[in-house]
Amino acid sequence: MEVTPVPEVGMTRILGLLDVLDDHGGREDIYRLARDLNYEFGDLLGVIKAAEILGLVHTPGGDVVLQPLGKQLIECDVNTKKSLLKRQVKAHSLFAHFLGFLKGLPERKASREEVLVEAGRVLPQEKPLSIFRTLVNWGRYTELFGYNRDDDAFYLDSEE
């Protein structure tokens, strides 16, 4: 399976985009949205791409459109939200790769350096630190992965 990168965007920014789109009737012109939110256009594109990767929005033409799953996330409780996002994250090749990577290790955990090396190996054109930060951010939010800075341990959450 080919591993594809994801933009380094925090999950809270993705969820914020969904709320804004919902406030705008579920559809908005990307340029207008960047202006209204006072976002740099490139930064907004990263958030939109991340949301699109997760199946939460669609981008026909110059618009961004809230998808049914995105609408569902806005309306559900936090535990359901995390569960739905976890399913979407696990389906992405980058996260599936690191699930397998950690499952193949004796204690199902790796150091930050080991993750950076693996990230550089599977995505040599990307910045390993950016990949690591996304793995930790999305992984923690969805309770798929954890990272303990004190122990330098990137690990699978117990249920995985």
Digit-coded pLDDT (tens) for 101-154? 999 998 999 999 999 999 999 999 999 999 999 999 999 999 999 999 999 999
Residue with tokens 């994250």: 89
Looking at residue 32, its amino acid is R
- pLDDT, tens digit, for every residue of 62-96? 999 999 999 999 999 999 999 999 999 999 999 99
C-alpha–C-alpha distance, residues 91 and 114, integer Å: 23
Helix segments in the chain, DSSP class H: 11-23, 30-37, 41-53, 68-75, 78-91, 93-103, 112-122, 128-142
Q: Max Cα separation, the chain?
A: 50
Whether the per-residue pLDDT at 160 is higher than 70: the answer is: no
Report in angstroms the alpha-carbon separations of 49 from 84, 136, 158.
18, 18, 30
